[in-house]
Amino acid sequence: MALLADPDTPTEVAQRMARDLPARLAGRFGRRGRFDVEVVSEPFTAGTEDLSTLTRRILDRGREERWDIVVALTDLPLHAQGHKIVVELSHEHGLALLSLPSLGGVRFQKKAGRAVEEAVLSLAGAQPSQAEEPGHRRTLEGFTSSLASVRRAPVGDEEAADLMYVVGGPRGYLRILGGMVRANRPWRLVPGLSKALAAALATGAIATVNSTLWTLAASLSTPRLVIATVGSVALMISWLIVDAHLWHRATDSSPEARKRAALYNASTVVTVGIGVLVCYVGLLVVNWLWALFILNDQAFFSLTRTPLHATEYWTLAWFVASVATVGGALGSSLENEEAVRAAAYSKREQERRRMLDDQD
């Protein structure tokens, strides 16, 4: 059997899974079971989001390589007949297609491993009990029952699949959004914003020794500091999205296209937001350490009439981090657009956006 995986996150998931998948399958299938697992990394979703086209590509690839069973993994959120797909199976062709974002962003690897295991057992004809008739088609209810909002859906006559599970409702939407964000790996945005971080650090270093900011910080209440934080982070997120052209517009006016665009844009905002928040926390720590080193008790008291205690260090560092984040937003305009996209998105998402740009 083969695990056919899109590059980047799906391939990493498949490679980790392949280490112990044969033993787990053999243990559950019984003494007759022996599984050789091959991981093949290739962009089988390149240039299309159409489910029928993807299924046909997987079938052709399976016939070409003569795989008995092929399980395809993608970090693309799949849609069919208004549903968001978790997994679909074709027992006739020994095929399964799993959309990794539908598993959410928590315990991602474990859920993916269990989904693939159940799919392979179903395709291989495993029988959960002796009381069932020979040739009984095993479903994935044991796996899907642990995921809220997942249900079995009817399969269209034109589809090659004979079993499909979809996700719906607000919880299902949030799970897919979390899975997309995890696939983008937003923590990679931090080193990708080197020029913006340099501008923010320089702004923070200068602001910390500015006596006017000492006075402002000493007079600010906690609610105002929170407002400054929210405002500066929102400005940074907005600037990055606008400057790097990260906002996605629907390709047509259909409700399905608008929902898909909303999902992609939500994943963009959350991905960039997490990256910016990580940068903000880093700036806060650096500015606090710099304040501990540079501030003088007598000078601070003479200007602010406030004794220099731990609270004052923290307040100043907090306020300066917000000011520095605004400076970082301006510095982010020096970043290359492609560099920001590469830092913020998975390879599959970068490819999808390049394809849409070419169409425009």
Task: Write out the two tokens for 43.
Answer: 């962009």
Q: Note the pTM of the prediction, 2 decimals.
A: 0.78
**258-291 burial by CB neighbour count: b if 16+ within 10 A, else e?**
eebbebbbbbbbbbbbbbbeebbeebbebbbebb
Please count the other Cβ atoms lying within 10 Å of the Cβ belonging to residue 213: 16
Show pLDDT as tens, one digit a residue, over the chain (360 residues).
899 998 888 899 999 998 888 888 888 776 566 778 899 998 888 777 778 888 888 999 988 988 989 999 998 888 877 778 888 898 888 899 999 988 888 888 888 888 898 888 888 874 444 334 444 455 676 666 566 667 777 777 667 778 888 887 788 888 888 888 888 788 877 877 778 888 888 888 888 888 888 788 888 889 999 999 999 999 989 988 888 778 877 767 777 778 878 888 898 899 889 988 998 999 999 999 988 888 777 777 777 777 778 888 888 899 999 999 988 877 766 566 666 766 666 656 666 666 655 655
Spell out the domain ranges in the chain: 2-175, 185-358
Please count the other Cβ atoms lying within 10 Å of the Cβ belonging to residue 333: 14
CATH class of 2-175: alpha beta
Contact 113, 21 (CB under 8 A): yes
